[in-house]
Chain A
Amino acid sequence: MKEKSDAPHTSNQAPDEEMETASSKKYLFDNPRNVKILLRTFFSSLLVLLVIEFFIHKHPHFPWEGWHEFYAVFGFVACVALVLAAKYILRPLVKRGEDYYD
C-alpha cells in the first residue's frame, strides 16, 4: 500500500463527510470495512442533523423555513429531481457524438 497515513480524506466515499469523519484518517478506501464505517458515520451524522434541528432557535424569513426538516427534504428532492431531469430530459435532447462539430 502506497497511501500515506496523513491523507484523512482519501478514504471518504462522499467528500462532504470530511469534517465529520476526521477520525477516519488511518483508514483506507480500499478496505471495504472502512467504507462501511464511513457510510455509517455519514448516515449517523444525517440523523444527528435531523434531530439537532429541534433544539435550535429559528428565525425564518419565509414560513416554510420554519417547517421541520425543510432543508433536508428540499436538498434531497432537489438533487434527485436534478439528476433525473438531466439524465432523462436534457441528455437525450443534447447528446451528440464526440465528432459532431468536426
Chain B
Amino acid sequence: MIDTVPPATVFIFGALLVPFIRGKWKSAYLLLIPVVGFINLINIPEGTHWVVRFVGYDLVFGKVDRLSLLFGYIFHLISFIALIYALHVKDDLQHMAGLVYAGSALGVIFSGDLFSFFVFWELLTVASIFLIWARGTKESRGAGFRYLLVHSAGGLCLLAGIVLHVYQTGSIAFGYMGLNSVATYFIFFGFGLNCAWPILHPWLTDAYPAATITGTIFLSAFTTKCAVYALARAFPGTEALIWIGAIMTGFPIFYAVIENDLRRVLSYSLINQVGFMVCGIGIGTHLSINGAVSHAFNDILFKALLFMAMGAVMYRTGKINGTALGGLYKTMPLTCIFCMVGAASISAFPLFSGFVSKSMVMDAAALGNMRIIWFILLFASAGVFHHAGIKIPFFAFFSHDTGMRPKEAPLNMLVAMGIAAFLCIFIGSYPWPLYSLLPFQDVGYDPYTASHVVGQTQLLFFSALAFSLLLLSGIYPAEMRSVNLDADWFYRKAGRRFLWFCEKPLMVFGNFLDRYVLKLAGASKSSPAEAVQWEQGIDRFFHVKLTSVPTVIYNWVRHLRTEMGYLPINVTYVAISFVVLLFLVLLLG
C-alpha cells in the first residue's frame, strides 16, 4: 500500500513545475503526470479521505465511491490522451492551464463538501479560460470574456444556493439533495449552466470553437461532464431533468445541420450527447443512471476523438469551415479513418462505444413507459448520425475536392487519436470491463440482442439513405458562411442595445433636464439663488417619487405572491430562479 494524495493535487502541483522543465524532458514529464495520478487513484480505497477541519466545517477532499471513481478514471485517461495530442505545443501556459483544468475537474469529482466543491468548480472556469484566450484571435478574446461572464453568473447562482443550503441545513456535506427548496433550485441552475441546458447553453457553442486546437480537447471533456457528475450525485430522479435532457438532445441537431464551422457542429452535438446523460439522470433508475454515466465515459472519448480529428485538419489546413474543406482523405487517410471511428461511435453503431451506453438510457425510458421522451431520443439518435456521423467526415474529408493536399497529421496527434479510436472500438465490442465499473451492479444489461442490433442499424442506414438522397437531389442545405442566431443574442446584441440605450438617449435626456430645468427656473425667478432652490425642490420631488417605487413594487409582489399561492410551489421557484438568472446574464453581458 502506498501513501495516496487527493487526485487533484497531482495535476495542480504538477502543473506548477511545468515551466521549470526544459527540452525533451518536458514531454516525458507532461505524460508522467496523468500516469502518476492514475497509479495514485487506483490505490485509493473507497470511502471518505482527507477530511480537513476548517472554520467549524469538515472539508472532504476525497469522497471516493463507484460514481466518483468512474469519472476519475476517464478524466485521467482523457488528460493523458489530450496531453499527447498537445505535445507539439511549446506554450507552457497552455499546458499548465490544461493540467490545472484537469486537476480542478478531479477536485470537483472527489469533493465531499460543498465548499471545496465550489472552489474547484470555479477553478474549472478560471483554468479553462486560458485555453480559449491562448488562441489569440479577436474572436477568442470576445468568446473568452463571454464565457467568463456567463460562468461567473452561474457560479454566483451556485454560491447563492450553497450559502442558503448551508444556512438551512447546517451541513456542507455534498450528497443527494433533490429539488425541495429555493437553495436547491439555485444549485440546480448553477449545475445546469455548466451542463449547457437549453437557453443557458450558448457559452459552449460560442467558446469551444474559438479555443485553441489542443485546448478544445480538454474543454470538451471536463466542464459539462463535471456538471453531469454533480447532477448524478445531487439530483438523480428529478423529473425536470428528463425533459431538459430530451430538449437538449433535440434542438441542437437542427442547428448542427445548418452550421458551417465544423467544430461548432461538434459543440452542438456535444450538447445533444449531454442531453442523453441528463435525461438518464432524470429518469433515475439504476439502469438509466448507469447509462448516463457510461455514456459520459464514452462521450468523453469519442467527442475528444472527433475534436482531435477536426483539430488536425485545422492544424494542417488552417481552415475549419465546411465551405472551405473537402477531399482531404487523399492525403490525411489516417485522420480520416480516426474521424470515422469517432463518427461511428457517436452515432452508436453496433461495435462502437456509443452503442453500448446510449441504448441503456433509451431502454430505461422505454421501461418507464415514457413515450414522448423515447421518441425524442430516437429522433435525436437518428439526427446525431446525420450531423456528427455523416456531415463531419463527409464535408471535411470527401465532398468536393478543394485541391488542398496537406500532410498527414503530426505523429503525436495520430497517436492520441489512435488511442481514443482503439478505446472506442474496444469498449463498443467488449463493454464488460466498462460495465463492471458502473455505479449500480444490480442491473445487468446486454446491448447485443439481435433485435436491438438490427433496429439500430436500420435506423442509421436509412438515415444515411436520407442523407444521400437529399444530397444527390440538391435539397440538402448547402454550407453557408454565416452567423446563426442563438440564445447568446440576448447578451451579445440585446445587452449591448440596452447599454447603448442607457448611455445615449437616457444620458442625453438627463443632461437636458439638468441644464434646462435650472435655466427655466432662473429665467422665471431672475435670481440665481432662488433658481437653485427651485431646482432642489424639483429634485426632491422626483426623489420622493422614485423612492416610493420600491414600496409599490413590494406591495405588488406581495399581492402576486398571494396569487401564486394557488400555484404548485415548484413552478414559482422555477420561474423566480429563472428570471433572476436571466437578469444576471443580461446585466453581466
Contacts and interface: CB of A to CB of B under 8 A. Distances in A.
B384 to A, nearest CB: 10
B366 interface: yes
A84 B390 CA distance: 17
B519 interface: no
Contacts of B367: 61
Interface string A67-102: 001111111101110111111001101111111110
Please report whether the interface of chain B is mostly helix, strand, loop or mixed according to DSSP.
Answer: helix
Interface residues of B, number: 68
Contact of B466 (A39, A83, A97): A83
Interface string B246-276: 0000000111011000000000000000000
Nearest to B250: A82
Given A75-B461, A98-B482, A98-B483, A15 B393 contact: yes
A46 to B, nearest CB: 6
Given A16-B389, A100-B483, A76 B462 contact: yes
A72 B383 CA distance: 14
Nearest to A59: B451
B477 A83 contact: yes
Contacts of B559: none
B254 A85 contact: yes
Nearest to B257: A86
A97 B458 CA distance: 39
Nearest to B340: A15
B481 A87 contact: no
A14 interface: yes
Nearest to B343: A15
A7 interface: yes
Contacts of B493: 101
A87 B466 contact: no
B498 interface: no
B344 to A, nearest CB: 7
Contacts of A56: 450-451, 454
A62 B330 contact: no
A16 B382 contact: no
Contacts of B351: 19
A82 B329 contact: no
Interface string A45-57: 1100110110011
Interface in B526-563: none
A15 B393 CA distance: 7
Contact of B463 (A3, A59, A78): A78
B382 A59 contact: no
Contacts of B465: 42, 46, 76
A75 B462 contact: yes
Given A16-B347, A61-B367, A62-B374, A95 B480 contact: yes
Contacts of B485: 93-96, 100
A100 B496 CA distance: 13
A7 B257 CA distance: 28
B573 interface: no
Contact of B458 (A15, A42, A71): A71
Interface string B43-73: 0000000000000000000000000000000
Interface in A7-64: 7-10, 13-19, 29, 39, 42, 45-46, 49-50, 52-53, 56-62
21 contacts: A15-B389, A16-B347, A16-B385, A46-B462, A50-B458, A56-B450, A57-B450, A60-B451, A61-B369, A74-B382, A75-B463, A78-B463, A79-B386, A79-B462, A86-B258, A87-B475, A87-B477, A90-B258, A94-B255, A96-B482, A100-B483
Interface of A: 2-4, 6-10, 13-19, 29, 39, 42, 45-46, 49-50, 52-53, 56-62, 65, 69-76, 78-80, 82-87, 90-91, 93-101
